[in-house]
Structure 1
Amino acid sequence: MKFGYTIIYVPDVSQALDYFNRAFGLSTKMLHETGLYGELETGQTTLAFAAEMLAYMNYPKGHLSPHSSDVPLGIEIALVCDDVPAAHAKALAEGGTELAPPQDKPWGQVVSYVQTPERIVVELCTPVK
C-alpha cells in the first residue's frame, strides 16, 4: 500500500485551484469538465479538491466544513520550499491569512502557517535537515 492522494472538499474547486496556482506556483494537473473535481501538479502525491456536494454523495453524513468554525480544522497541507518568508508573503498577497509568521525551529527548519481563502491550513517549510 502507498499514500496516493489527499482530497480536500471545498465550495468552489476552480477557485481553490486558482489560489494554489497563484499563491504557491502549483500548476493545475486537471479540472474535470463538471468543475466538481480537480488536481494540482504536486509531485509524487496528488493534492486534489472536490466540491463539497460530492462528500454527501460519497458518505451521507457529509463532512465538517472549515467554513463552519473560526478555529482551523486539525489538518494541514505542508509545502516545502527554500524561501519561507517569500512564499509566506506571496500567499498573503494572493489572499491568504496569516496564522503564524515564519519562525526558525530548534531542529533547523523555517516554518510558517497561512490559511487559504477556503480556510485550508498550509504549512510552508524548508526541508528537514
Structure 2
Amino acid sequence: MLITPDLDRLVAFYTRLLGAEETERVPDEGPVFFLNLRVKDSDLGIVADKSVELGSPQRSLLSVTVDYVDELLSRVEALGGTVLGPANDMPWGQRVAHIQDPDGNAVNLAQPI
C-alpha cells in the first residue's frame, strides 16, 4: 500500500503507466479514503491522507514485472514520475529500471529476459 496526499495524481500515474484498474473504493460515494488497483495479477492499495509529507524517508521498494521496460521508461516523466537511470540487464535474468512515482516512491520496473 502507498499513502499519498494526492490520490488522483498517483492513481493516474499507475493507471496510465501500468494499465492498473480500480477494483475497490472506500467509501463507495464521497471523498475516497482507500482505492485498490489491480496491476496484472497483483493488487496495489492507495490510501488518501492529505497530511502525509512527501520526501520523508522510506524503507520500501515497489517492484513491478512488466513486458517491456524500455517502452515504459519513455512514458514515466510525461506522467509525473522520475527516471533514475537507464534500464540494465541483471545477472538474475531481469532487465530492471529504477524510477520514482510522482510522490517520490521508489519503483523497480522489471522485465524477464
Q: TM-score by structure 1 length?
A: 0.72
- Give 2:17's aligned residue: 23
Judged with a 3 Å threshold, the aligned counterparts in structure 2 of structure 1 residues 31 and 97 are, in CA distance, closer, same or farther, namely same
By relative contact order (CA 8 Å, sep 6+), the higher-ranking structure is 2
Identity %: 26
- Give 2:47's aligned residue: 50
Structure ranking higher in strand proportion = 2
1:82: Cα distance to partner? 1.9
- Kept in 2, the 8 Å contact 1:24–1:91? The answer is no
Task: Tell me if 1:80 matches 2:65.
Answer: yes
RMSD of aligned residue pairs (Cα, Å):
2.2
CA distance in 1, matches of 2:16, 2:40: 17
- Give 1:59's aligned residue: none
Q: Which amino acid aligns with 1:16?
A: L
- What is the aligned counterpart of 1:106 among 88, 91, 109? 91
Q: Deviations over 1:31-71 (max 9, x none)?
A: 33321110101255421011226xx9xxxxxx7x4x134xx
1:8: Cα distance to partner? 1.2
Runs of 4+ in 1 over 4 A off after TM superposition: none
- What is the aligned counterpart of 1:68 among 43, 55, 59? 55
Instruction: Count the aligned residue pairs.
Output: 110
User: Mean Cα displacement is larger for which, 116-125 or 22-31?
Assistant: 22-31
Task: Tell me if 1:38 matches 2:38.
Answer: no
CA distance in 1, matches of 2:64, 2:41: 13
Stretches of structure 1 lacking an aligned partner (at least 5 in a row): 1-6, 57-62
Structure ranking higher in helix proportion = 1
Judged with a 3 Å threshold, the aligned counterparts in structure 2 of structure 1 residues 43 and 82 are, in CA distance, closer, same or farther, namely closer
- Give 1:3's aligned residue: none
Q: TM-score by structure 2 length?
A: 0.81
- Kept in 2, the 8 Å contact 1:85–1:102? The answer is yes
Task: Tell me if 1:122 matches 2:107.
Answer: yes
